Structure 1
Amino acid sequence: MAFVITAPCETEKAGECATVCPVDCIEEGSDHFYIDPDICIDCGACVAVCPVDAIVEEYELTPEQEPYLEKAEAYFSK
């Protein structure tokens, strides 16, 4: 997984990330958006347009943000 959408999206859910994604790898969940790691091409377009800086590269996640990686993995494993 290249990018993970974290806590700031829960209160914003603006959706610019999904609109700009060239491969449609971002889906809206019940609480925030999720990036499908199997479709994502790591272009970073979503990062550039996120109004709340909610999108983080996986290797830059802080311990507090780790649960969002787990949530994304669970979301796409259904």
Structure 2
Amino acid sequence: MAYVVTEACIKCKYTDCVDVCPVDCFHEGPNFLAIDPDECIDCTLCVAECPVEAIYAEEDVPADQQEYIELNNKLAKVWPVIVARKDPLPDHADWAEVTGKRQHLEE
């Protein structure tokens, strides 16, 4: 079982989770982060760090977010690893509570 970044991350891209990851399994895209399921060691440290609660254990991903399991796997294969915290996107506060953001994901 790996952890999965879901829709809440889109257009926010908080990177607090990256700082606590002991295996550098996060990958960075233009406006979203993805977890490499092959690298994730299921330590749970990232879950508590996400201010928008975007990270779930694979078995706990909400039904309407299931596509993010495969999306994390796919994007982690093409996006670069991120190993240090960065500032969130400039308009992150405007997007933090928005739902239905899938169409805004920049792959």
Q: Identify the residue that residue 2 of structure 1 maps to in structure 2.
A: 2
Per the TM alignment, residue 35 of structure 1 is displaced from its structure 2 partner at its CA by 0.6
- Greater C-alpha radius of gyration: 2
Query: Is the 8 Å Cα contact of residues 35 and 73 (structure 2) preserved in structure 1?
Result: no
Q: Identify the residue that residue 76 of structure 2 maps to in structure 1.
A: 76
Residue 77 to residue 15, structure 1, CA distance change in 2 (3 Å): closer
TM-score, normalised to structure 2, is: 0.66
Counterpart CA distance in 2 for 1:20 and 1:2 is 16
Query: Is the 8 Å Cα contact of residues 18 and 27 (structure 1) preserved in structure 2?
Result: no
Counterpart CA distance in 2 for 1:9 and 1:76 is 15
State the secondary structure of the residue aligned to 2:14.
Answer: coil
Counterpart CA distance in 2 for 1:46 and 1:26 is 10
For 2:32, the aligned partner's letter is: H
State the secondary structure of the residue aligned to 2:11.
Answer: helix
Per the TM alignment, residue 46 of structure 1 is displaced from its structure 2 partner at its CA by 0.5
Residue 24 to residue 77, structure 1, CA distance change in 2 (3 Å): closer
Q: Structure 1, unaligned stretches of length 5 or more?
A: none
Counterpart CA distance in 1 for 2:22 and 2:46 is 9
State the secondary structure of the residue aligned to 1:4.
Answer: strand
The percent identity for this pair of structures is: 45
Per the TM alignment, residue 77 of structure 1 is displaced from its structure 2 partner at its CA by 4.3
Aligned residue pairs, count: 78
Counterpart CA distance in 1 for 2:30 and 2:65 is 18
